[in-house]
Amino acid sequence: MSKIAVVAFGGNALIRANELGTIEQQEKNAYDTCIKVVELIKNGYSIVITHGNGPQVGNILLRNEAGYSQFKIPKMPLDICVADSQGGIGYMIERQMRNVLNDLNMDKNVVTLVTQVLVDVNDPAFENPTKPIGAFYLKEEADLLTKANKWIFKEDPRKRGWRRVVASPKPIEIMNQDIVKELANRGHIVIAAGGGGVPIYRHENNYLEAIEAVIDKDLASALLAAKIGADAFFIITDVPKVFINFNTPNQKALNKIDVDEAKEYLNNGEFAAGSMGPKISAAINFVENGGGETVITEASELQKPDCGTRIVGKGSS
């Protein structure tokens, strides 16, 4: 039995700010992130990697629309687009991780699983879709797409246009979580639950059906980490630590806090809903469901013994 760490790659693991997202850029970024994550293996962890897919699935949706309008290629539903992004991103990470292991003379197997995630079809999130996906459109374009596809659009808060929104239900079960645990316990590197996983639900006869939704990547990663008994959950982002009073003269880095402190900061609005908020929620979920600790940091910090902001059980800080 190995110590297990689930490592959630943020968006900048593949596409950095001000980059176009070419394959060369994404592969280089994946290699750079993987070589830093290997520090955890050197510290005795078996690792399970999860990842986001926001820019990539957005591009897949654009190709969907362009292919249909130009060549009448049938559009694929959102679940297929999410699965496509999982496969493509997982392949990139797996290949670059193999290259890193080769460069470091380390012998490890790496495997990517296209992962389905069970949700509740009656989740209240389906009554109020909030997760933006895809491109920005003019109001007139959004209205036409609504009529053609029965999509829901909302105006961007920064007035950049109108974007399609879908539900973001709570993940209930990670399919194949037992296989992920078995592989990790044997020391293999597993890539799973990419983009939060492909959301599915069960009919009464146990038949699995896809549903138009996007699952939060960090919440799905936290659930996977808890279900496989991970010792630690690392959320890789673009800052070395979590801050309160962020971007003010009074900003303060958090080193180690317990779940009660994390909840208090979250409830007081310290963490934005579109950035750090979901990460803190995921950190709390993992620890409260039996996990050891959550670490939120950037990849370059992983070589430090007390890197990042650590969220631990009540009274442990």
Q: Summarize pLDDT for 160-216 with one digit per residue, the tens.
A: 899 999 999 999 999 999 999 999 999 999 999 999 999 999 998 999 999 999 999
* Three-class SS state of 285: helix
Alpha-carbon Rg of the chain, whole angstroms? Answer: 19
pLDDT value at 305 more than 90: no
Provide the pLDDT confidence category of residue 280 given band limits of 50, 70 and 90: very high
d(Cα 44, Cα 41) in Å, to the nearest integer?
Answer: 5
Segment 224-256, tens digit of pLDDT: 999 999 999 999 999 999 999 998 999 999 999
- Predicted pLDDT of residue 158: 80
- Predicted pLDDT of residue 314: 84
Segment 99-121, tens digit of pLDDT: 999 999 999 999 999 999 999 99
- The pair of structure tokens assigned to 89 is 């991103």
d(Cα 199, Cα 1) in Å, to the nearest integer?
Answer: 30
Q: 123 in a domain, yes or no?
A: no
77 and 188 share one domain: yes
Query: Where are the alpha helices (H) located in the chain, listed in sequence order?
Result: 23-42, 54-71, 78-103, 139-149, 177-185, 217-227, 259-267, 276-288
Q: Domain span at residue 138?
A: 129-166
105 and 161 share one domain: no
Q: 283 in a domain, yes or no?
A: yes
Taking 3-state DSSP, the helix, strand and coil percentages for the chain, each rounded to the nearest 5, stand at 40, 25, 35
Q: What is the number of structural domains in the chain?
A: 2
Catalytic residues: 11-12, 131, 217, 279
- Predicted pLDDT of residue 317: 59
139 and 184 share one domain: no
142 and 280 share one domain: no
d(Cα 209, Cα 232) in Å, to the nearest integer?
Answer: 32
Last residue within a domain, chosen from 166, 191, 223: 166
Q: Considering the chain, what percentage of its residues have pLDDT values greater than 90?
A: 83
First to last CA, the chain: 27
157 and 245 share one domain: no
pLDDT value at 311 more than 90: yes
Backbone angles phi, psi at 283, to 5 degrees: -60, -45
149 and 277 share one domain: no
Question: Other C-beta atoms within 10 Å of 257: how many?
Answer: 21
Q: 317 in a domain, yes or no?
A: no
Burial of 16 from C-beta contacts in 10 A (0-12 / 13-18 / 19+): middle
153 and 254 share one domain: no
Q: Answer for the pair 21, 15: CB distance below 8 angstroms, yes or no.
A: yes
d(Cα 275, Cα 271) in Å, to the nearest integer?
Answer: 7
244 and 265 share one domain: yes
Q: 27 in a domain, yes or no?
A: yes
244 and 274 share one domain: yes
